[in-house]
C-alpha cells in the first residue's frame, strides 16, 4: 500500500526521480540528498510502513538483506573503510520521514563524521532494575 502524502512512497515507486543505486520489485535504494558521508544511501520499501513497529516481519527481513547487498556494493565501489547501518524510529529517535528506511552510511578513515551516543555509566543495581522492567 502506498500513502499519497508520503514523499518516500513517491520516490520508491518512481513518481519522483531519485539517484537509484539498486531497485527490485519491493525496494529502491537511493542516495540520500543530505549525506553524512560519500555514498550515504537509503533502503526504501515500495510499500508504506511508518516505522519498524509497522513493517511486517517478512518485509523487514527482506529489507536487511537488501541493505546487505547495497552495503557490499557501496563498500566495494567507493572503497569505504567501514560502514554504519542506522534505522531511526519516531521523532525522539531522529526520524524525520515517517516511511520506514534503513540508512547505509559508508565510513572512511578520518571522515570526521559523528554517528553515535554518549555512553552512560549505570550501577549494577540500575542495570538490574532495567532488566527487571524489561523481563517483567
Ligand atoms: P531519518 O531522519 O528520517 O532517519 O532520515 C531521513 C533521511 O532522508 C535524511 O538523511 C534526509 O537527508 C533524507 N531525505 C529527506 N528527503 C529526501 C529526499 O527528498 N530525497 C533524498 N534522496 N533524501 C531525502
Ligand atoms: Zn510512504
| Cα–Cα distance, 29 to 67 (Å, whole number) | 8
Q: Tell me which H or E stretch contains 9.
A: helix 7-12
| Cα–Cα distance, 23 to 42 (Å, whole number) | 12
Nearest CA to ligand 1 atom 17: 33
| Ligand 1 atom closest to residue 88's alpha carbon, by position in its atom list | 4
Span 100-126, pLDDT tens digits: 999 999 999 999 999 989 999 999 999
Span 50-97, pLDDT tens digits: 999 999 999 999 999 999 999 999 999 999 999 999 999 999 999 999
Q: Is 101 a catalytic residue?
A: yes
Answer left, alpha or beta for residue 106, where phi above 0 means left and psi between -120 and 50 means alpha.
beta
Put simply, whether the predicted model's pTM sits higher than 0.95 gets the answer yes
Ligand 2 center from residue 99 Cα (angstroms): 5
CA 23 from centroid of its chain's CA atoms: 16
Amino acid at each position: 500500500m502506498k500513502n499519497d502524502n508520503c514523499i518516500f512512497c513517491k520516490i520508491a515507486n518512481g513518481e519522483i526521480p531519485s539517484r537509484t543505486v539498486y531497485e527490485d520489485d519491493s525496494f529502491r535504494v537511493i542516495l540520500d540528498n543530505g549525506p553524512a558521508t560519500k555514498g550515504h544511501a537509503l533502503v526504501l520499501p515500495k510499500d508504506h510502513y511508518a516505522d519498524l513497529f509497522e513493517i511486517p516481519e517478512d518485509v523487514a527481513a527482506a529489507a536487511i538483506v537488501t541493505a546487505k547487498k547495497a552495503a557490499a556494493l557501496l563498500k566495494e565501489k567507493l572503497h569505504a573503510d567501514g560502514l554504519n547501518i542506522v534505522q531511526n524510529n519516531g521523532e525522539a529517535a531522529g526520524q524525520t520521514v515517517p516511511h520506514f528506511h534503513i540508512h547505509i552510511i559508508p565510513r572512511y578513515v578520518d571522515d570526521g563524521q559523528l554517528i553515535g551516543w554518549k555512553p552512560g555509566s549505570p550501577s549494577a543495581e540500575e542495570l538490574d532494575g532495567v532488566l527487571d522492567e524489561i523481563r517483567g
